[in-house]
Amino acid sequence: MTSHVSGSFDVTMTPEPGDFPARQRLDKRYHGALQATGVGLMLAHVSAVRGSAGYVAVERITGTLEGREGSFVVQHSGLMDRGAPTLVIHVVPDSGTGALAGLAGRMGIRIEGGRHFYDFDYTLPA
């Protein structure tokens, strides 16, 4: 059975040195049914054409999901094609630890009024 949770999150992005021009460290705080911290690394490219860009990121999320404690890793893949967004964030298979072992799912991100929100559909073994 798939469960659905939503909530807000705060994010800080810090430029990281490296060969890729838009490399950022992600530090997040999740609120709501997911009480957790996230740390990750993002690579991005903004095109010369207005509204076109792409990013990839890997993020480890540690905390509690509806009271279950552990961690898991998500992989982000986002594109903006002349203003039309596409975003896919999947739980990396077999990355769950503790009470989140076996976690599978997909997360969405919304930005409303300058605030960040997540929508997370997931399954856990019985």
The residues spanned by each domain of the chain are: 3-123
Write out the chain's pLDDT in tens, 126 residues: 899 999 999 999 999 887 777 899 999 999 999 999 999 999 999 999 999 999 999 999 999 999 999 999 999 999 999 999 999 999 999 999 999 999 999 999 999 999 999 999 999 998
Task: Give the whole-angstrom CA distance, residue 104 versus residue 125.
Answer: 9
Task: Give the whole-angstrom CA distance, residue 38 versus residue 72.
Answer: 10
**Would you give the DSSP letter of residue 92?**
P
**Would you give the DSSP letter of residue 102?**
T
For 14, how many CA atoms within 13 A lie in the half-sphere containing its CB?
A: 8
Q: Give Cβ neighbours of residue 90 (< 8 Å, ≥ 6 apart).
A: 74, 75, 105, 106, 107
Residue 22: per-residue pLDDT:
85
Residue 18: per-residue pLDDT:
76
CATH number of 3-123: 2.170.120.20, 3.40.30.10, 3.20.20.70, 2.40.350.10? 2.40.350.10
